[in-house]
Structure 1
Amino acid sequence: MSGQYVQIKSQSGDVFSAYLSISADKRGPGIVLCQEIFGVNEVMRKKADFLAEEGYTVLVPDLFWRTEANIELGYTPEDFEKAFQLYQAYDEDLGVQDVQDSLNYLKTLDSCDRNTGLSVLGYCLGGKVAFLAGCRIPEVACTVGYYGVGLEKLLHELEQLKGHLVLHIAELDQFTPPAAREKIIQAAQHYSNVNIHVYDAVDHAFARPEGTHYHKPSAKIAHERTITALHKTVGPYFDLVALWEEHIKHEFDTRDVPATMATMVAQPYVNHIPTLTGGVGYSQLARFYRYHFVHQNPQDMKLTPLSRTVGSTQVVDEFIMSFTHDSEIDWLLPGIQPTGKYVEIPMLGVIQFRGSKLCHEHIYWDQASVLVQIGLLDPTGLPVAGAETAHKLLNEAIPSNTLMPSWASSENKPIV
């Protein structure tokens, strides 16, 4: 954990604790993160640290301090029973006061950029408290709730909402059955500043990594939507194109491994999809770059950009990679000796960022086309092509459907 515990003075004059994680950039927009019913446990602290890597200064207040201060529960049946008891005794109105006190505390910190606006984010019970805080506290610029409970009974609160609200709802959530979910969706349609996302075939707590209902694809999409909403309302802004081009420069021009790694988060990963090459974590990826990638690429390797799509958290690049296969290329053609062939490959790179650092790369290409071009795969009778796949990207006038034996059979047939 990279954060620390701090003490916050309540409106009643009492003091409660909160976990504080400061932005990786030393200063960023402030977020109050509202806990699940299990207290400010390791899962919540990791969530705060993760958001701090995204560039936010995050405070996780102990919402149960009036009943049982500083409690941390796990996910055993006994802990579930204890957590549910705490939830039943919880006063959500007082919880909103605690969020306000936490926001006030954030505003005193040099690590909180007070000019951009403040946000509240929560899970489960915390999703409900975040919803109420977003509606009742006018200064909250962005509110995000993950599978908040009982929101269908609080929809009248939306009339007070000033900022942006994002709700993530699990389709199979027993705490938000279909009728309740539909009620929330119908109410949200009357507000342009409310976005509802329903995640198919997942259950409550789908974004909790330690949970039995964890669903990584849904959790990733929900996180990207959350960060996108935060970026649009409170920032921070990162020039992802400049960050990506700096990374590429050190990979292919300066061929400087330490400089390449410096553009990435502490534990990044790279996955070249067709060959399963790359690395997960700093040490494995640095080893891969140093001995199997950066210094092993052919000297005439060239990237020809075709298109670039820039989102809030990622860059998608479409390009053609060309080179002479005059040296062994572990990451692209592992174990294959140089053939001297010239190769042109259409490629697609999905580059994810976390804050101001590159988080991971997913690189896609057609390996069959590569094997055809170096003479290891005979394309006769197979639905594969060689360098033509790259050439057609540059010249769409090259005939289509030449690999389809049935293409001629539809000529002159009526088109409906």
Structure 2
Amino acid sequence: MTVKTLHIPTADGRADAFAAFPDRGERCPGVLMYPDGFGIRPVLREMARELAGHGYYVLVPNLFYRHGPAPMIDLPEHIGEGTRAKVFEQLMPLIEAHTVERSLSDADAYLRFLTAQPEVVDGPVAVTGYCFGGLLAVRTAAAHPGQVAAVAGFHGPVGADGPDTLNRLTAEVYFAHAETDMTPESLGALDQALDAAGVTHTSEILPGTAHGFTMSDTDAFDAAALQRHWDRLLPLLGRTLAGG
């Protein structure tokens, strides 16, 4: 396994990023992994390495590079209920400043950089995202319909941009929602919008889960839900990416 800290040229500077990919010397499919609002940290590096171990080049950008390199703030080892509010108080201005225009400009730069890496095979890529990163994954896939073959979002506001964005999706979609984030009625409305857009998709609520269920450094972590995340994500990548 090779891991690197990289810097991605963007319209507004350089975004620091974490990359992980196999050592076997063969080119592999690329995956752009958007972190949650807490950003690049040990748990995200661990998840990127886990995915890379299945034969993918995984690129995890610092979403808030305009404000400085990751980590943007001092994070506790475990983000529990006692610290969550204080952490979000610091992060929310950065999230609010990350406009649609900025996210789309960055997506162009991230995909251009990812596909130019010598370890990445020619062909389509996948985009995954967690929490706020799930929304960014959908935006990226919608803006690059000929390039993104799969998009996966976990406990994120994936439909927040509305049907106009969903209508531009051509990628195969998997969404996993926390029970505390999505009602069955809201899920039905999202599924209806995806159906109307002609999107091949699976979208489900994971019973008993809270927002952030994939993140082992938070109180929301659910080991069974994280395993389901892998059980759904890996087959999606395998059937949509060349060499996956």
TM-score range, shorter chain: 0.7 to 0.9
Matches of 2:39 and 2:229, distance apart in 1 = 22
How do 1:24-173 residues align onto structure 2 when only pairs under 5 Å count?
A: 24-26=23-25, 27-70=27-70, 71=72, 73-74=75-76, 75=79, 76-77=83-84, 78-115=86-123, 117-138=124-145, 139-149=147-157, 151-173=159-181
| 1:150 CA displacement | 5.8
Among residues 186, 189, 199, which one is paired with 2:195 in the alignment? 189
| 1:178 CA displacement | 4.9
Matches of 2:226 and 2:33, distance apart in 1 = 17
Say which SS state the counterpart of residue 3 (structure 1) adopts. Answer: strand
Q: Is the contact between residue 134 and residue 165 of structure 1 (CA under 8 Å) also seen in structure 2? A: no
Report the identity percentage: 24
Q: Render the CA deviation track for 1:154-196: whole Å, top value 9, x for unaligned.
A: 23212111221211111222xx455433321221233242221
TM-score, length-scaled by structure 2: 0.87
Matches of 2:68 and 2:191, distance apart in 1 = 35
Q: Is the contact between residue 152 and residue 183 of structure 1 (CA under 8 Å) also seen in structure 2? A: no
Where structure 1 has 5 or more consecutive residues not aligned to the other structure, the ranges are 238-416
Q: Render the CA deviation track for 1:39-84: whole Å, top value 9, x for unaligned.
A: 2112211111111111100111111112343225342332232123
Q: Is the contact between residue 173 and residue 199 of structure 2 (CA under 8 Å) also seen in structure 1? A: no
Say which SS state the counterpart of residue 196 (structure 1) adopts. Answer: strand
Aligned residue type for 2:178 = A
Matches of 1:24 and 1:200, distance apart in 2 = 38
Say which SS state the counterpart of residue 47 (structure 1) adopts. Answer: helix
Say which SS state the counterpart of residue 133 (structure 1) adopts. Answer: helix
Matches of 1:163 and 1:25, distance apart in 2 = 28
Query: Is 1:205 the counterpart of 2:212 in the alignment?
Result: yes
Number of equivalenced pairs: 233
| 1:197 CA displacement | 2.2
Q: Is the contact between residue 24 and residue 56 of structure 1 (CA under 8 Å) also seen in structure 2? A: no
Q: Using CA pairs below 8 Å that are at least 6 residues apart, which structure has the higher relative contact order?
A: 2
Among residues 224, 239, 243, which one is paired with 1:236 in the alignment? 243
Higher fraction of helix:
2
Q: Render the CA deviation track for 1:329-371: whole Å, top value 9, x for unaligned.
A: xxxxxxxxxxxxxxxxxxxxxxxxxxxxxxxxxxxxxxxxxxx
Q: Is the contact between residue 61 and residue 99 of structure 1 (CA under 8 Å) also seen in structure 2? A: no
Which moved further from structure 2: 35-44 or 23-32?
23-32
Q: Is the contact between residue 127 and residue 152 of structure 2 (CA under 8 Å) also seen in structure 1? A: yes
Q: Is the contact between residue 32 and residue 59 of structure 1 (CA under 8 Å) also seen in structure 2? A: yes
Q: Is the contact between residue 169 and residue 199 of structure 2 (CA under 8 Å) also seen in structure 1? A: no
Q: Render the CA deviation track for 1:14-62: whole Å, top value 9, x for unaligned.
A: 2221111113544310011101111211221111111111110011111
Say which SS state the counterpart of residue 116 (structure 2) adopts. Answer: coil
Q: Is the contact between residue 134 and residue 158 of structure 2 (CA under 8 Å) also seen in structure 1? A: no
Aligned residue type for 1:19 = F
Q: Is the contact between residue 51 and residue 58 of structure 1 (CA under 8 Å) also seen in structure 2? A: yes
Matches of 1:87 and 1:149, distance apart in 2 = 13
Matches of 2:171 and 2:237, distance apart in 1 = 11
Question: What is the match of residue 218 of structure 1?
Answer: 225
| 1:127 CA displacement | 0.4
Aligned residue type for 2:87 = D
Say which SS state the counterpart of residue 39 (structure 1) adopts. Answer: coil
Matches of 1:134 and 1:150, distance apart in 2 = 11
Indicate how the Cα distance of structure 1 residues 47 and 93 shifts in structure 2: closer, same or farther if over 3 A, else same: farther
Matches of 1:236 and 1:207, distance apart in 2 = 26
Question: What is the match of residue 307 of structure 1?
Answer: none
Larger radius of gyration, structure 1 or 2?
Answer: 1
Matches of 2:53 and 2:111, distance apart in 1 = 20
Matches of 2:194 and 2:201, distance apart in 1 = 6
Indicate how the Cα distance of structure 1 residues 150 and 193 shifts in structure 2: closer, same or farther if over 3 A, else same: closer
Matches of 2:173 and 2:91, distance apart in 1 = 27
Where structure 2 has 5 or more consecutive residues not aligned to the other structure, the ranges are none
Q: Is the contact between residue 7 and residue 14 of structure 2 (CA under 8 Å) also seen in structure 1? A: yes
Q: CA RMSD in A?
A: 2.1
Question: What is the match of residue 21 of structure 2?
Answer: 22
Aligned residue type for 1:123 = Y
| 1:222 CA displacement | 2.0
TM-score, length-scaled by structure 1: 0.53
Say which SS state the counterpart of residue 189 (structure 1) adopts. Answer: helix
Matches of 2:19 and 2:29, distance apart in 1 = 13
